[in-house]
Amino acid sequence: MAALTKIRVLGGSLAVTLPIDLVRTAGLKKDELVEIKVKKVKKNYFGALKGIGSYKREDDRTKDRG
């Protein structure tokens, strides 16, 4: 089973929360011992510049430098 979650600060430690769907599916209970495998997720910037438009001469800021 896998889920994406953010690392948060809790006092002087880092903590993660488990989504309730995962908790219910796995039948997890309070104070139960679980194993967690950590894998960083790469950010996907696909589409980040969508709608920015094409370059125009008016966009050139170097032409004002003399």
pLDDT computed for residue 27 by the predictor: 96
Q: Indicate if the pLDDT at residue 66 is higher than 60.
A: no
Q: How far is the CA of 62 from the CAs of 52, 55, 56, 66, in angstroms?
A: 20, 14, 13, 9
**Considering the entire predicted model, what is its pTM?**
0.55
Give the tens place of pLDDT for each residue, 13-65: 999 999 999 999 999 999 999 999 999 888 787 877 777 777 777 777 666 55
